[in-house]
Structure 1
Amino acid sequence: MSVVVHYPLPASQLDNRRPVAIESTETELTVTGRLPIELDGCLVRVGPNPIRPDRRAHPLVGEGMVHGVRLHRGRAQWYRNRWVRTDGVARDRGELPLPGPRHGLSDNANANVVRHAGRTMVLGEAGVLPIELDSELNSVARLDFDATLPHGFTAHAEADPVTGELFAVAYYHELPYVEHLVVGADGRVRRATRIEVSGTPLMHSVALTDRHTVLFDLPVAFDPQQARNGSRFPYSWSDARPARLGLLPRSTGTDVRWFEVDPCYVFHPVNAYEVGDRCVVDVIRHERVFDRDRLTPGETAPTLWRWSVDLVRGSVAAEQLDDIPQEFPRMDERRKTMPYRYAYTVAMQRGVSVLGGSALLRHDLDRSDVTVHDFGPACETGEAVFVPRGPFGAEDDGWLLTYVYDARDGRSRLVVLDAADFAGPPVAEVHLPVRIPSGFHTNWIVG
Structure 2
Amino acid sequence: MVLTRPTNTTSHLLSSGYRPVTDERTLTDLPVLGTLPAELDGSLLRIGPNPIGPYDPALDHAFAGDAMVHALRLRGGAAQSYRNRWIRTDRVARALGELPAPGPRYGLGDNVNAGLVRHAGRLLALADGGARPVHLSEGLDTLARFDFDGTLPAGFAAHPVSDPLTGELHAMAYDHRRPQLTHLTVDALGRVRRAEPITVKGTPMVHAFSLTSRHAIVYDLPVTFDPRAAADGSRVPYTWDDNHGARLGLIPRDGRDADVLWIEIDPCFVFHPVNAYEQGPLTVIDVIRHERVFDRDPLHPSESAPTLWRWTVDRSAATVEERELDGRIQEFPRIDDRFTGTPHRYAFTVGLRPGQGAALAGPELLRHDLVAGRTDVHELGPGREAGEAVFVPRGTHATEGDGWLLSLVHDLRTDLTELIVVDTSTFTGAPVAVVPLGVRVPHGFHTLWSPEQ
TM-score tier by shorter-chain length is over 0.9
- For the structure 1 residues 139 and 247, does the alpha-carbon distance in structure 2 shift closer, same or farther, using more than 3 Å as the test? same
1:187-266 matched pairs, under 5 angstroms: 187-254=190-257, 255-266=259-270
Contact 1:328 1:383 in 2 (8 A): yes
User: 2:52 maps to what in 1?
Assistant: 51
Among 361, 364, 370, the alignment partner of 1:356 is 361
C-alpha distance in 2 between matches for 1:371 and 1:252: 40
User: 1:84 maps to what in 2?
Assistant: 87
- For the structure 1 residues 291 and 406, does the alpha-carbon distance in structure 2 shift closer, same or farther, using more than 3 Å as the test? same
Among 268, 273, 276, the alignment partner of 2:272 is 268
More moved, 36-45 vs 98-107: 98-107
Greater RCO (CA < 8 Å, at least 6 residues apart): 1
Q: CA deviation at 1:350?
A: 2.3
User: 1:4 maps to what in 2?
Assistant: none
Among 121, 131, 134, the alignment partner of 1:131 is 134
Contact 2:110 2:132 in 1 (8 A): no
1:310-389 matched pairs, under 5 angstroms: 310-352=314-356, 353-389=358-394
User: 1:431 maps to what in 2?
Assistant: 436
C-alpha distance in 1 between matches for 2:190 and 2:319: 37
- For the structure 1 residues 429 and 242, does the alpha-carbon distance in structure 2 shift closer, same or farther, using more than 3 Å as the test? same
Among 174, 178, 185, the alignment partner of 1:175 is 178
SS at match of 2:92: helix
Q: CA deviation at 1:313?
A: 1.1
Q: Look up the equivalent residue of 1:315 and give its one-letter code.
A: T
C-alpha distance in 2 between matches for 1:230 and 1:430: 41
C-alpha distance in 1 between matches for 2:273 and 2:449: 19
Q: How high is the TM-score relative to the length of structure 1?
A: 0.96
User: 1:285 maps to what in 2?
Assistant: 289
C-alpha distance in 1 between matches for 2:441 and 2:339: 30
Q: CA deviation at 1:415?
A: 0.6
Structure 1 residues 221-259: Cα deviation after superposition (integer angstroms, max 9, x where no partner): 101122222222111111101110010101334411111
User: 1:41 maps to what in 2?
Assistant: 42
SS at match of 2:344: coil
Q: CA deviation at 1:181?
A: 0.7
Contact 2:335 2:391 in 1 (8 A): yes
Contact 1:25 1:81 in 2 (8 A): yes
Q: Does 2:417 align with 1:412?
A: yes
Q: CA deviation at 1:12?
A: 8.9
SS at match of 2:193: strand
More moved, 330-339 vs 343-352: 343-352
User: 1:116 maps to what in 2?
Assistant: 119
SS at match of 1:113: strand
User: 2:25 maps to what in 1?
Assistant: 24
User: 2:397 maps to what in 1?
Assistant: 392
User: 1:6 maps to what in 2?
Assistant: none
Q: How high is the TM-score relative to the length of structure 2?
A: 0.94
User: 2:3 maps to what in 1?
Assistant: none
Gaps of 5+ in 1: 1-9
Q: Does 2:169 align with 1:166?
A: yes
Contact 2:88 2:99 in 1 (8 A): no
Among 150, 155, 159, the alignment partner of 1:156 is 159
Contact 2:12 2:18 in 1 (8 A): no
Q: CA deviation at 1:11?
A: 6.7
Structure 1 residues 16-75: Cα deviation after superposition (integer angstroms, max 9, x where no partner): 111000000010311011111111110000010001123221132241111111001111
Contact 1:331 1:343 in 2 (8 A): yes
C-alpha distance in 1 between matches for 2:13 and 2:194: 48
SS at match of 1:153: coil
- For the structure 1 residues 14 and 377, does the alpha-carbon distance in structure 2 shift closer, same or farther, using more than 3 Å as the test? farther
Contact 1:207 1:272 in 2 (8 A): yes
C-alpha distance in 1 between matches for 2:24 and 2:247: 43
Q: CA deviation at 1:156?
A: 0.7
Q: CA deviation at 1:100?
A: 1.4
C-alpha distance in 1 between matches for 2:308 and 2:336: 17
Contact 1:61 1:107 in 2 (8 A): no
Contact 1:413 1:429 in 2 (8 A): yes
Runs ≥4 in structure 1, deviation > 4 angstroms? Answer: 10-14
Contact 2:13 2:19 in 1 (8 A): no
C-alpha distance in 2 between matches for 1:437 and 1:232: 20
Gaps of 5+ in 2: 1-10
SS at match of 2:350: strand
